[in-house]
Amino acid sequence: MPDPRADSEGAASPEAQAGQAEAGPGQILEAAQRLAQGRLVAFPTETVYGLGADAENPAAVARIYDAKRRPANHPVIVHLAPDTDPGYWAASIPSQARLLMAAFWPGPLTLILPRAARIPDAVSGGQDSIGLRCPSHPVAQRLLHAFSVLKPHGCGGVAAPSANQFGQVSPTRAAHVRSEFPHLDEQALMILEGGDSEVGIESTILDLSRLEQGVGPVLLRPGHVTALQIAEVLGVPPALPDAAAPRVSGSLKAHYAPRTPVSLVSAQVLDDWIRGRGVPPGRVAAVVLDAPPGPAPGGVEWIVLPADPAAYARRLYALLRDLDEAGYDRILLQRPPAGPAWQGVNDRITRAAAAFG
The whole-number average pLDDT for the span 174-198 is 96
- Using alpha carbons only, give the angle 224, 191, 12 rounded to the nearest 5 degrees: 50
In the predicted model, is pLDDT for residue 270 greater than 60? yes
Fold of 262-354: Rossmann fold (3.40.50)
Residues 62 and 59: their CA atoms lie apart, in Å, by 5
The whole-number average pLDDT for the span 268-277 is 85
At residue 20, the pLDDT reads 63
The whole-number average pLDDT for the span 83-98 is 97
Residues 74 and 65: their CA atoms lie apart, in Å, by 9
Query: What digits encode the pLDDT tens for the residues 130-145?
Result: 999 999 999 999 999 9
Residues 133 and 82: their CA atoms lie apart, in Å, by 10
At residue 7, the pLDDT reads 41
At residue 154, the pLDDT reads 95
The whole-number average pLDDT for the span 334-349 is 95
Query: What digits encode the pLDDT tens for the residues 15-51?
Result: 334 346 899 999 999 999 999 999 999 999 999 999 9
Residues 184 and 50: their CA atoms lie apart, in Å, by 15
Residue 149 — φ and ψ, nearest 5°?
Answer: -60, -30
- Using alpha carbons only, give the angle 348, 351, 355 rounded to the nearest 5 degrees: 140
**Ranges of each domain in the chain:** 14-234, 262-354
Other C-beta atoms lying within 10 Å of the C-beta of residue 29: 16
Q: How far is CA 301 from the centre of its chain?
A: 27
Residues 119 and 89: their CA atoms lie apart, in Å, by 7
At residue 278, the pLDDT reads 87
At residue 252, the pLDDT reads 83
CA distances from 87 to 61, 84, 217, 311 (A): 21, 9, 19, 35
Question: Residue 141: exposed, middle, or buried by beta-carbon count in 10 A (0-12, 13-18, 19+)?
Answer: buried
Other C-beta atoms lying within 10 Å of the C-beta of residue 20: 15
In the predicted model, is pLDDT for residue 155 greater than 90? yes
Mean pLDDT of the chain: 92
Tell me the pTM.
0.93
- High-pLDDT (> 90) share of the chain, %: 83
In the predicted model, is pLDDT for residue 215 greater than 50? yes
14-234 and 262-354: identical CATH topology:
no
Looking at this protein, which amino acid is placed at residue 126? Answer: G
Mention every residue, 6+ apart, whose C-beta is less than 8 A from residue 193: 19, 20, 21, 22, 23, 44, 139, 174
Superfamily name with CATH number, domain 14-234: DHBP synthase (3.90.870.10)
At residue 254, the pLDDT reads 83
The whole-number average pLDDT for the span 93-99 is 98
